[in-house]
Amino acid sequence: MYRSRAAPPNLCYRRAVIPAGLVLDLVRGLTASTPPPRGLPYLGLEPASGTGFHLLDALSARGIFRKYELVLEVGTALGGRARWLAGRSGCEVVGTTLTADEAAAGSELGRRSGMHRQVQLVAAEAAALPFRAARFTHVWFVESLSRVPDPGAALAEAHRVVRPGGWLAIQDLFAAGRALEIAGWRFARPAVYRDAVAAAGFVDLELRDRTAEAAERAPRVVAARNVLLAKLRSDPRLARHAVEREALAAALAGGSLSVVQLVARRPA
């Protein structure tokens, strides 16, 4: 597995993280009689937004994803989408997290699922990635640019670390109506990211609105997320996670947020 330089501990701020043990306990009960789907060892519980994993099929349609490809996912949180990509395509994924706590919890989930050789998580600032230039074949931002302080700087770093001819893929939540405030998120308009991607040096930009198909389709994943949400609500120490997930779900359902994907390429 690829090894990176460790990120200095002062790069990341502290942020509450859903305990890996809670996810493990829930999934153990939910998969006692039926194994989880391929690529979703934790039934898609990791992301906060509730968008469907099927959306990632469109992101992975650009470029080649196979055993010897090395993908960087910036802002992977607990690593759910990184594990999906590695499990479905066989590639290796390095995921950066906003905090050391996220990296530790996500790494524990990776170890328990047996995917720790394919997926490595490290805490690192999106605007100061600890990787050499042109190291990765793809760079992904999945609902993470809206959570970093300087998206433009993060995209410049993405351009630096992806190889010439490599692909950038973005999926994010965008403001679609009135101003919306959810702690830890900064919702822009799609045109802002489109212009920032071009300014970073990427070409062949394509932008698609996926809002109409954004909701998770798999009944089993939806049911598992509802079980997790109930657990989060019932524990005062974790209630903030329930508030975040409910606010995002309400904004998507009510039309205040849209889901947009953008793909582009670093010139060869």
- For 181-209, write each residue's pLDDT tens digit: 999 999 999 999 999 999 999 999 999 99
pLDDT, residue 68, reads 77
Query: pLDDT > 70: what percent of the chain?
Result: 94
Structure tokens at 51: 């968008």
Determine the residue type at 192: V
The 8-class DSSP code of residue 51 comes to B
Cα within 13 Å of Cα(83), Cβ side? 28
pLDDT, residue 15, reads 60
* pTM for this predicted structure: 0.92
Residue 173 has pLDDT above 60, yes or no: yes
- For 20-51, write each residue's pLDDT tens digit: 999 999 999 999 999 999 899 999 999 999 99
Q: Using CA atoms, how far apart are residues 182 and 186, in angstroms rounded to an integer?
A: 8
